[in-house]
Amino acid sequence: DAEGLLLPGMEGDADFLLWVGCVNSYNDVNTLPNLMAVFDAAGVKYRVLGEDEGCCGSIVHMSGLPGFKDLANGAVSRIQATELDTMTTPCAGCANHFKEIYPKHNIDVGVRVKHAVD
């Protein structure tokens, strides 16, 4: 049960945005707290969007369903609203879509995107 694992949006200084992704929110609920523990132990400041994160659109895109661009543009708006210049995600699908698929659809995330293992 992922309830209670996601933090609400954090205020204050942060080095990067931690984009959780749906897999880590609903299916692989152990990855996120472990990753956050690593960041916390390293003294790294990050921000999460919590319930405001929404979807990057990867599942919709891969399924061929309509609405991908709306989801992608919504994600970009929320990312850019943080005013951070770097985003890290433990989700391979999100990382791939932000770095490879969005540009193919003329969607600019506007931040440096890294997978958590980078």
> Which CATH number goes with the domain that contains 90?
3.40.50
Beta partners for 113? 87
Q: Residue 5's pLDDT is what?
A: 47
pLDDT (tens digit per residue) in 33-61: 889 899 989 999 999 998 889 899 999 99
Residue 6, in any domain of the structure? no
Does an H or E element contain 89, and which? Answer: strand 86-89
Low-confidence ranges of the chain (pLDDT < 50): 1-2, 5-6, 8-9
Q: Residue 6's pLDDT is what?
A: 42
Q: Residue 8's pLDDT is what?
A: 42
Which domain does 73 fall in, by range?
A: 16-115
Q: Residue 96's pLDDT is what?
A: 95
Q: Residue 26's pLDDT is what?
A: 63
In this structure, the strands spanning 86-89 and 112-115 are parallel
| Number of domains comprising the chain | 1
pTM of this structure: 0.84
Residue 5, in any domain of the structure? no
